[in-house]
Amino acid sequence: MKKICGLPIPHFKNTAGNRPEAIPTPPEVTLNMKEIAGDPARLAVSPGDSVAVGQVVGVANGARSSPVHASISGVVKSISEIDPNTGKEAVSVTITSDGKQSIFSGITPPKVKALEQFLVAVQDSGVIGLGGGGYPTSHKLTLKASVKLDYILINGAECEPYITTDTRTMLDNAQDVVDGALLMQQYLDPGKILICIENNKPEAIKKLQGLTMALPGISVRVLPANYPQGERKILVYNVTGRIVPEGRRLPDVGCVVINCTTVAVFAQYIKTGMPLVSRCVTVDGSAVNTPKNVIAPIGTPIGAIFDFCGGLKEDCKKILMGGAMMGKAVPNLAMPTLKITGALIALSEKDARPVEPTACIKCGRCVSKCPMGLMPSFIEDAFEMKNIELLKKYKAGMCAECSSCAYLCPSKRPLAQVMSLAKEMIWKEGRK
């Protein structure tokens, strides 16, 4: 089987050796009822209510939803109808800190004896796809009776530049990752559990190999460090050789891909009862004074996190939430972090210099390197003609939005943006 050989992009894993440090409690946090995927949680507090760390402020609204927990103790200051990160309509709640960080009294480890209880516990932990997907994990793990689960792939590829939070999880919370794997093995009964790690993280590989050595059915799979190795369909293909057909989901081919930090979080919750209230964030980039890994409450304004890292340099021009390939540039420092925020990257003027697109020379670099086997240059032509039939024919809807095409393009065409808009165009057409 021919593996999908991605791009040798720079790794910039400068913070891989930095143990995460907890930041001081921020004066204020903002929590979103909805992150990028799944149904929004239902608000369970009103302004003026006192909340403690781990208390539910948003109740899961159905199976495709995940609860939201207070990440600091204090008072609910305000409720907003607008998502501060996207500007779209979505409920968010702002909590002012009382500085005590008192833990919510109702926190007790859940009783997990059967699959249903396990899935309820995963949902109650508030965990969503922490690698960036943001899909509620409990729903991902709720499989139809017809699914024969052969593989659970625990994704520790971390192929994005800069980010080292999964690396740190696998080093600092390796036991949690293994415990989570054991829980999934017990309740989901997969054929195999493979912890997939790129070969640029030798310490994490060694550590997890040691911990899983004696465990039947759980092992470490070492992968070449290529982008986008951690993309779920690519990972499934490169590890198992299975291809997810268009319009189908991973369980249809007997696979589940789950981020390693996600696994560690629900394993911790089942041990301690403490839901997802804080996470490790990599702070790096040419405009950060002291790059480091930090542990920050969910919803911390990113400015507070940069302050903890020695502040930003004078020439900071661009700030990213997420990695350099797929992350989103944010307009100001008041943005709160999300559960899915694994990195904050500040780029100096030199690194943030906008690229000038020139005419497509049809060199075919994007075509030859698209990991999903798409033809971005043709899709761009079809998009400019607004030819939805052609876009469908070229399978633009299958784009994984990994940005490889735009990274490679010698003419610096905004291909990733075009692919994203083309997907939206197809999606809107389908709703008509």
Partner 1 sequence: MNKLMVSFSPHIHEKITSGRIMLDVVIALIPAFIASVVIFGARAALVTAVCVASCVFLEWLYQRLMKKPITVRDWSAVITGMLLAFNLPVEIPLWQAVIGCVVAIIGVKQLFGGLGKNFANPAITARVVMFVAFSTTMTKWVPIPADAVSSATPLMVMHGSDGVLPEIWDMFIGMRGGCLGETSVIALLIGGIYLLVRRVVKWHTPVAFILTVFILALFDNWNPLYHLFGGGLILGAFFMATDYATTPQTNTGRIIFGIGCGLFTMMIRLYGNFPEGVSFAILLMNMVVPYINKLAAKRALGGARV
Binding residues vs partner 1 (CB under 8 A): 4, 9-10, 161, 233-234, 237, 243-246, 248, 312, 314-320, 324-332, 345, 347, 349, 351-352, 354-355, 358-364, 367-368, 370-375, 377-378, 393-395, 398, 401, 403, 406-412, 414, 416-417, 420
For residues 280 and 294, give the distance between their C-alpha atoms in angstroms, rounded to a whole number.
5
> Which is nearer to partner 1, 56 or 335 (by Cβ)?
335
Q: Residue 349 Cβ, how far from partner 1 at the closest point, in Å?
A: 7
Strands of the sheet with 68-69, listed across from one edge: 42-43, 56-59, 68-69
DSSP 83-132: -TTT-SEEEEEEEEE-S--PBPTT--PPP--SHHHHHHHHHHTT-B-TTT
> What counts of helices (H) and strands (E) characterise the chain?
13, 17
Alpha helix locations (H) across 173-259? 174-188, 202-212, 232-240
Residues near 81 by Cβ (< 8 Å), separated by ≥ 6?
A: 89, 90, 91
Task: Tell me the pairing of strands 28-32 and 89-97.
Answer: antiparallel
Q: Residue 101 Cβ, how far from partner 1 at the closest point, in Å?
A: 30
> Which is nearer to partner 1, 203 or 429 (by Cβ)?
429
Q: Residue 244 Cβ, how far from partner 1 at the closest point, in Å?
A: 5
Q: Residue 401 Cβ, how far from partner 1 at the closest point, in Å?
A: 8
> Which is nearer to partner 1, 17 or 357 (by Cβ)?
357
Single out the residue of 399, 410, 307, 264 nearest to residue 24, CA to CA.
307
> Which is nearer to partner 1, 111 or 248 (by Cβ)?
248
> Which is nearer to partner 1, 8 or 106 (by Cβ)?
8
Single out the residue of 100, 98, 45 nearest to residue 67, CA to CA.
45
Q: Residue 287 Cβ, how far from partner 1 at the closest point, in Å?
A: 9
Q: Residue 227 Cβ, how far from partner 1 at the closest point, in Å?
A: 10
> Which is nearer to partner 1, 210 or 373 (by Cβ)?
373
> Which is nearer to partner 1, 145 or 359 (by Cβ)?
359
Q: Residue 207 Cβ, how far from partner 1 at the closest point, in Å?
A: 29
Strands (E), 273-313: 278-284, 292-297
Which residue do the tokens 């403490």 mark? Answer: 274
